[in-house]
Amino acid sequence: MKRIAPEDLSEFFTSLSLRYDLRIPILLADGGRAIGNLADGPLAMIGRAVLSKPTSFFFAQDELVFTERDGDLHSPSKNGNNLLVVGFTPRDLLCLHFIDRFFATGERDDLYFHQRDGAVVAVVSGYCGPDGAFIVPSYGGCDLEFIYDGNKEWLVLPYSEAGREIVSSLEDAPEELLEGIRKIDSGMLSAEKELIGQASRIMRQMELPDSFWEEIGERCIQCTGCNLVCPTCTCFGIQDWRYAEHTERRRMWDSCQLGGFMQEAGGHNPLGTAALRTRRRIHHKLAADPERWGEISCFVCGRCDATCPTGIGIFAISREIVARFAHISVTR
Partner 1 sequence: MKKTLTVCPYCGTGCMLHLISENGRLVGVEPSTTHPVSRSGLCVKGWNAFAFVSHPDRLTRPLVRRNGTLTPVSWDEAFDRIVTGIKNVQKIHGRNAVMFASSAKATNEENFLLMKLARRVFGTNNIDHCARLCHSSTVTGLAQTFGSGAMTNTIDCIDKTDLVFVIGSNTTEQHPLIGSRIMNAVRKGAKLIVADNRRIRLSLHADLHLRHKNGSDVPLLLAMMHTIIAEGLTDTSFIAERTENYAALAESVAAWTPERASLLTGLTAEEIALAARLFATAKSAMIVYSMGITQHSHGVDNVRCCANLAMLTGNIGRPGVGVNPLRGQNNVQGSCDMGALPDLYPGYQKVIDPGVREKFAREWGGHPLPAEPGLPLTHAMNAALDGKIRAMFIMGENPMLSDPDQKHARKALENLELLVVQEIFPSETAQMADVVLPAACFAEKDGTYTNTERRVQLLQKACDPPGDALPDWQIIAALARRAGYAGMSYESTGDIMDEIARLTPIYAGISHDRLTPAGLQWPCPGREHPGTPILHENGFTHGLGRFIPVKYRPPAEKPDSEYPFTLTTGRTYFHWHTGTMTRRSHLLDREERRGFVEICPGDACRCGIRNGEIISVTSRRGSITVVARITDMVPEGVLFMPFHFAESAANALTNNVLDPESHIPEFKVCAVRIEQLP
Angle (CA) 188-26-13 rounded to 5° is 95
Cα(191)–Cα(212) distance, integer angstroms: 24
One-letter identity of residue 180: G
Phi, psi for 72 (deg, rounded to 5): -100, 140
Q: Is 75 in the site for partner 1 (CB under 8 A)?
A: no
Q: Is 92 in the site for partner 1 (CB under 8 A)?
A: no
Report the residue from 25, 36, 87, 137 that binds partner 1 according to the rule CB under 8 A. Answer: 36
Residue 40 or 117 with smaller CB distance to partner 1:
40
> Considering only 27-35, 86-94, 114-122, 279-287, which stretch makes contact with partner 1 by CB under 8 A?
27-35
Q: Is 184 in the site for partner 1 (CB under 8 A)?
A: no
Q: How far is the CA of 190 from the CAs of 185, 193, 194, 200, 307, in angstroms?
A: 10, 5, 6, 15, 23
Cα(133)–Cα(179) distance, integer angstroms: 18
Residue 1 or 316 with smaller CB distance to partner 1:
316
Report the residue from 105, 169, 190, 239 that binds partner 1 according to the rule CB under 8 A. Answer: 239
Q: Is 268 in the site for partner 1 (CB under 8 A)?
A: no
Q: Is 48 in the site for partner 1 (CB under 8 A)?
A: yes
Cα(196)–Cα(309) distance, integer angstroms: 21
Q: Is 330 in the site for partner 1 (CB under 8 A)?
A: no
Helix or strand holding residue 144 (H, E) = strand 144-148
Residues 6+ apart with CB under 8 A from 314: 196, 226, 281, 282, 285, 286, 298, 304, 305
Report the residue from 233, 308, 314, 321 that binds partner 1 according to the rule CB under 8 A. Answer: 308
Q: Is 310 in the site for partner 1 (CB under 8 A)?
A: yes
Residue 29 or 172 with smaller CB distance to partner 1:
29
Cα(248)–Cα(169) distance, integer angstroms: 43
> Considering only 58-66, 85-93, 119-127, 292-300, which stretch makes contact with partner 1 by CB under 8 A?
58-66
Beta pairing, strands 62-69 & 247-253: antiparallel
- Single out the residue of 68, 81, 78, 80 nearest to residue 16, CA to CA: 81
Q: How far is the CA of 71 from the CAs of 63, 183, 216, in angstroms?
A: 21, 62, 49
Residue 15 or 239 with smaller CB distance to partner 1:
239
> Considering only 91-99, 156-164, 183-191, 249-257, which stretch makes contact with partner 1 by CB under 8 A?
249-257
Q: Is 171 in the site for partner 1 (CB under 8 A)?
A: no
> Considering only 10-18, 104-112, 199-207, 219-227, which stretch makes contact with partner 1 by CB under 8 A?
219-227
Report the residue from 43, 306, 316, 326 that binds partner 1 according to the rule CB under 8 A. Answer: 306
Q: Is 244 in the site for partner 1 (CB under 8 A)?
A: yes
> Considering only 34-42, 99-107, 110-118, 285-293, which stretch makes contact with partner 1 by CB under 8 A?
34-42
Q: Is 54 in the site for partner 1 (CB under 8 A)?
A: no
Residue 259 C-beta-side C-alpha neighbours within 13 Å: 9
Positions in the binding site for partner 1 (CB under 8 A): 23, 28-34, 36-37, 40-41, 48, 51-52, 56, 60-63, 218-219, 221-225, 228, 237, 239, 241-244, 252, 254-255, 258-260, 267, 306-311
